[in-house]
Amino acid sequence: MEPCVSETPSRVHLDGENGTIILKLEHLQRAGSFKARGAFANLLLREVPPAGVVAASGGNHGLAVAEAAHRLGIPAKIFVPVISAPAKIAGIRSRGADLVVTGDRYADALAAAQQWAAASGALPVHAFDQRETLLGQGTLALELAEQAAVDTVLVPVGGGGLIGGIAAYFAGSVRVIGVEPTGAPTLSAALAAGGPVDAPTGSIAADALAPARIGELVYPLARDFVDRVLLVEDDDIRRAQRALWTATRQVAEPAAVTALAGVISGRYRPEPGERVAVVISGANTSLGIFEDGDHAQNGIPHA
């Protein structure tokens, strides 16, 4: 995968007596999110038929599969729901994939993609519940471990591919904490029920963090290697977007700053001397978050 994906930077943005916050800037990844890792892993590790690949996505996974397919010369068909962000839809189209916008939620797009795979023989590339997807997302943890010594990693959670890959890599050697919106608590619901169950899908981050349930392959990894899960409100996520801009002049989509919202909201407070990595996972959004002139008052200070 090394020639295909970027090594994204890890930067210290708060270093003091109450701990160190390190931002893993994965929104600078190819195609604008960590999803590129899983997409390239699938296309490089699996045998792709002449019909190419098919994927369902809230947007970022579709963008990543379209990017990987374009670079590797493979046909791709991408299904996304109507709630997908316009920036993501435009990005998929610009990479030459055959795009279908259908259904209200990710689950609707997934059903349509599965029907197409059965009819066409295309290889389905699942956004999170696929071994190769988890392997690809786990390379973020490998990269982070080479860049910085950390005690804790805060990870945004949707279907769970990212936290599953990260948790599998660290396997208890580093504390892994999930952060998800109160309106889309897929992992929280699964851990409470003892397995994947349907959860609500309403949040400002719904286009990226609101599948119906956590992945079947993801769940045992989360159960065994995720320390706990924090819930944040949509207002916390909006504040985190603005705080990231104030401190770093980086723009990220709502889902991407969910882990940072865990810190901004005070739901996670580092211990003295603790080194906490916060994954910023995607950048595929518009600048509309700044149009109201609101600015973060309690952001992350400059290093």
Q: Which residues are catalytic?
A: 35, 281
- For residue 10, the surrounding DSSP H or E stretch is strand 10-16
Pick left, alpha or beta for residue 31 (phi over 0 → left; psi -120 to 50 → alpha; otherwise beta): left
Token pair for residue 277? 């990595």
Helices 60-72 and 86-94 pack at an angle, to 10 degrees, of 10
Helices 131-147 and 35-45 pack at an angle, to 10 degrees, of 120
Strands 10-16 and 19-25: antiparallel
Q: Read out DSSP for 219-277? A: HHHHHHH--EEEEE-HHHHHHHHHHHHHHH-----TGGGHHHHHHHTTSS-PPTT-EEE
Token pair for residue 165? 């890959």
Token pair for residue 33? 């999110």
